[in-house]
Amino acid sequence: MVLRRTLTFACLSLAVVACTTTDDPSNDDEVGDTGETGSEAGAPCDPAADAVDESSCVPLASDYTPATPDDDPYGACVSDAGVYELIADPPGSIGRIEAYDEIAEILWRRADAPSADDFTTARTIYEADQGLGSRVDRREDLHYPPIPEAEWDPGLDPDKQCANETNATNHPDRCVGPAKLRPLINGAFIDGMSGTGDPNTAAATIEAGFVWFAALSVYKEASTCLAKAKDCDSAWAYYTGGAQVDGALLGFAALVEAYSPGTHQRIFDGILAVRCFRDLYPIETYATYDDLPEDGKQTFDDAWAQVDTALQRGLAVALRQHLLAQDDDQCSEASAANWAFVQILGGVIDREAQLRDPANADALSAILELDAPTSEDIEAAAVLLDGLIPCS
């Protein structure tokens, strides 16, 4: 199998801007009069259907488990029925994940390659006022240190500092939305709308960006619900699109549940843990972290960590299934697109993998950087990934 190199891990640094295409569709010599791509792209490939072995997966002793509330360290709370109970009105983030799903149906959940017009339609949905694109643009990655106060733009709120171009340039890991996600996704939309290159690769790049965004959004909203209780609702909505654990899932949750129901349950349990924390320590009394008693701080820390651990496994599942699909016959016509997805998510997961086992993380990265991985490379990468970020 010969693969065309589409994206490298270098594109996941601030230099991702240089990896995107020009904004001028007139520079493309593959676009015909109809606006359709001149390439003969095949059907998008689905993730591999191989079952994920979860027989050894058990929650940590510190985890919240609604199925067995007497076995976790949390007190009785609103989450114990295993159902997410809203704190406020349904959040606007539900609509953003509905948009994610609409775009998925247009660009990659289909039996043929998307056309230039399909990308234009999807871009209109993406750019709706206060919609999905607006939140991609502002997303921060709370795994990284905040921007030092000495560098703040006095005209921006503390949580909007990444809107400052200099801050985004100087802190690309923290300011992941403007520094990485926006150029990655926008560049792929431009390629798709102009007919530049392989439309399946443009669609796969957008999908990977959306998965990345959704996981970061759940993590971020689970944290800020400490200061704004309704952000607990947004964490739930950014994951499921407004569904319960066994409901009509959208977005990232639908992808995870399809290939690892156990991981899906663990992510949902983590979100319920954060909701349980907010019930046990209501914001009217405990508005900040410093207001919490020591046991409250530990409860919040455990809940947020539970969400993060489960989300990392969810990202690993998405990566794993696409990785294994690279060797499937059904993926032969869209292997370059599938590998683009793998390389992007591989770069996203590398931070967590490096924290856990630098040597094996480097070994995984080396495989994912290959232009033409063999079957043995694919199998080795899957084994490394499962060892680095196992189920729990």
Q: Convert the pLDDT of each residue in 212-246 to its tens digit.
A: 999 999 999 999 999 999 999 999 999 999 999 99
Cβ(37)–Cβ(115) below 8 Å: yes
pLDDT at position 214: 98
Q: How far is CA 36 from CA 24, 186, 197, 199, in A?
A: 16, 19, 11, 10
Over range 84-92, report the average pLDDT.
97
Average pLDDT, integer, range 75-82 = 94
- Cα(339)–Cα(203) distance, integer angstroms: 12
Which token pair is 104? 């998925």
Among residues 213, 391, 216, 219, the alpha carbon closest in space to that of 305 is found at 219
pLDDT of residue 43: 86
Inform me whether the pLDDT recorded for 105 exceeds 60: yes
pTM summary value: 0.89
Confidence of residue 273 (pLDDT cuts 50, 70, 90): very high
Q: Which of 136, 319, 160 minimizes the C-alpha distance to 217?
A: 136
Identify the sign of the CA torsion 130, 311, 167, 189: negative
Q: Closest by alpha carbon to 65, among 75, 80, 51, 52? A: 80
> How far is the C-alpha of 86 from the C-alpha of 292, rounded, in Å?
22
Query: What is the mean pLDDT of the segment spanning 254-281?
Result: 96
Rounded to whole angstroms, the Cα distance separating 67 from 268 reads 12
Q: Is the pLDDT of residue 17 over 60?
A: no
- Please check whether residue 65 is in contact with residue 269, taking contact to mean a CB–CB distance below 8 angstroms: yes
